Amino acid sequence: MNMKYLLSIGLLAAMFIQGPSLRADEGMWLVNMLNRITMAEMSEMGLNLTAEEIYDINNASLKDAIVRLNGGSCTGEVISSQGLVLTNHHCAYDAIQGFSSTANDYLTDGFFALEKGQEKHIEDFYISFLVRIDDVSDRILADVTADMDETTRQATIAEASKAFLALMNPEGTKELDLKSFYYENEFYLFEYQSFKDIRLVAAPPESVGKYGGDTDNWMWPRHTGDFSMLRIYADENNEPADYSETNVPYQPKRHLRISMDGVSEGDFTMVMGYPGSTDRFLSSWGVEQALSLYNPSVVEVRDMKLTTMKKHMDADPAVRIQYAAKYAQTANYWKYYIGQSKGLKRLNIQSEKAELEARFTDWVNGDANRLSEYGEALELIEGYYADTDASVKGKVYALEAGLIGSDISLFAFRFNRMAAGLFSEDAEEVAATQAMLTDYVAGFYREYDQSTDRDLFVNLMTKFRDDIETAYHPSFFQLVQDKYKNDFNRYADKMYANSFLVDADRCSEFIANPSMKKLEKDLAITVGKSAINTYFAGMQNPAQAKFDRGYRLLVKGIREMDSDQAIAPDANSTMRLTFGQVAPYKAADAVNYDFITTANGILEKKDNSNPEFVVPDALDALIRSRDFGPYADENGELAVCFIHGTDITGGNSGSPVIDGNGDLIGLAFDGNWEAMSGDIAFEHDLQRTISVDVRYIMWILDKFAGANNLIEEMDFVSGLR
């Protein structure tokens, strides 16, 4: 194997100043707002870059190598001058599943394109680069006054936003996204450039990319090679273009080099990516509602959904492939909410929030002007939760069981909405709608099994009926009661026998020869319309004004009260930077975890009778041969994963772990079980990001897959630490 090593002899000494203790550092910082405090902390830990080398709109910077997948579902990073993108295996899971069949099972066997002609175009997948961020708070809030009621305030902001976006994008050619921060106390404008010709390049088998399965999910120690590779293609001018065989690999402004130095305890790390959502300002009343109502409701519904899917997946290999992504997505946050509840209780987060609220009250009451501005904040928030406690469980079931529980509900709603164009008097609109629906339907049926879906429908709707008060039921429940003896099995018998939506051929016939009468009488359409109406009814909350005003005032007040502290905004799928050190942690009494795992642990966990811990013979032999080559650490071991104290959440999956020189050392893919409450309250002593060591990724590509073509196009660095 040949590598392009870029050596720097002058930087062989340690480059960071280690503080007296190692811990996780809170903060998902906007990359255009790396203030003096943040930069000073990072420099002290070992960062050798300037703020401009991280984010610059005029020159290539690190932000130009970080990409957003599908609007924020995951993050990726460009790692070659030919548009090669690294992300998590689970971020490309849908695509891998879509290319898989019982004849070519890429989920089980893996996929590695040994030349560009073998790369597979992924439909309906796009990758976005951040162009720039601008603080536009003054423009959006110019006409907002403190005495406005919430309805007027929202209308004023909406009008200002619409006018501003029209001004900034008069021809509609720019991709702009206006986002609020700190509960609408600030507003920022984001500009992106998106590419739609994306191709699958590499994916390890599930026995590598998903090693440990649901058992190890959110757990440390971990031995999962959670990675995959994509490639961005562009037109001859290096600009975004629809898929074409004539497109060429994209040439990025910046790509990350691969560091071969590995990690040691205390090393500086930073993660850049697109964290989806946190709720760090949640009140004590919000924590109580989450613990007693919201979280257990999600877990209950998803538990039944997982059990139902697994029964069918275990019985039929084809169904296992069809439902693999759905099962993984459902299981991920099923376990997340279990862990979050345990963490909130174990760490006594509700009391911590109450203490902050007491301090806030004392601060507010200490000044007449503060009392006038912020005095109502906590009362409004407490009132909101008192008003909504009764409806929370029904709201969860409306989504988890009603709308997305079975495939037929959401499919019927979407089909009905899209089908409006079939009845247009404009022949071109009809043709366009037919083409759009044909594509949508084809994609749906690739991942649909009627028998599985029927069981999901009956089981989840029955649970919905039995667990939730009648006031929060979908309207079609009354039809089931009146005409089908309150038996969802009877309704399902007729729906799955007669609805054109449960069969690809009958669905295609309807698209070709639409009938409004047939559409309106279809029992699946009845379910879809009822489910979406129930969901939206749950979203419409008369108490929302209390929530909006209360939290906006609370957050503004906290930032004023603690003005000597840098307080990061909640995550909202915008590019953020977080930093911290590689560090072990104490998980519980007498339970201490090291900061790194090795390939030895893969064999220790091996159990080929358990699908979650299968180790293929080829991988087993490679590990036992200890042919780790240049990917071994200083002790001759092959590091697999490591942990470090950075602040991440969902959406950060696939984010690069970057060292003090701006080089890639790992790939973030998970958080740790003991700190699952971290989205609500960050735990400095416990919070860890779990990442794949980049050397393990390279070893899999090189030794396991023989994908030397990919190794050759990357830039490697060593000896910089």
**H or E segment to which residue 162 belongs:** helix 150-168
Structure tokens at 42: 């990072």
The Cα-based distances of 19 to 14, 29, 44, 581, 721 in angstroms read 14, 21, 8, 10, 18
In degrees and rounded to multiples of 5, residue 7 shows phi and psi of -100, 145
Angle at Cα 218 formed by Cα 273 and Cα 348, nearest 5°?
A: 95
Can you tell me the distance from the alpha carbon of 259 to that of 580, in angstroms, rounded to the nearest whole number? 18
The residues assigned a catalytic role are 90, 226, 653
DSSP 391-441: GHHHHHHIIIIIISSSHHHHHHHHHHHHGGGGG-S-HHHHHHHHHHHHHHH
Residue 474's nearest CA partner among 465, 483, 487, 485 is 465
583, 265 Cβ separation under 8 angstroms: yes
Cα-Cα end-to-end distance for the chain: 23
Can you tell me the distance from the alpha carbon of 654 to that of 87, in angstroms, rounded to the nearest whole number? 4
720, 261 Cβ separation under 8 angstroms: yes
CA 672 remoteness from chain centre: 16
714, 255 Cβ separation under 8 angstroms: no
Can you tell me the distance from the alpha carbon of 20 to that of 115, in angstroms, rounded to the nearest whole number? 50
Report which residue type is found at 128.
Answer: S
Report which residue type is found at 101.
Answer: S
CA 407 remoteness from chain centre: 21
- Which runs of consecutive H residues, i.e. helices, occur in 7-121? 36-45, 51-54, 93-99, 106-109
Structure tokens at 230: 């994509």
CA 522 remoteness from chain centre: 35
652, 660 Cβ separation under 8 angstroms: no
649, 587 Cβ separation under 8 angstroms: no
Count Cα atoms within 13 angstroms, Cβ side, for 403: 19
Report which residue type is found at 507.
Answer: C
Can you tell me the distance from the alpha carbon of 45 to that of 16, in angstroms, rounded to the nearest whole number? 5
Residue 205's nearest CA partner among 614, 692, 601 is 614
Can you tell me the distance from the alpha carbon of 658 to that of 665, in angstroms, rounded to the nearest whole number? 6
Can you tell me the distance from the alpha carbon of 204 to that of 602, in angstroms, rounded to the nearest whole number? 15
398, 171 Cβ separation under 8 angstroms: no
Can you tell me the distance from the alpha carbon of 203 to that of 97, in angstroms, rounded to the nearest whole number? 11
Can you tell me the distance from the alpha carbon of 54 to that of 367, in angstroms, rounded to the nearest whole number? 41
Structure tokens at 254: 């910046």
Residue 595's nearest CA partner among 585, 587, 605 is 585
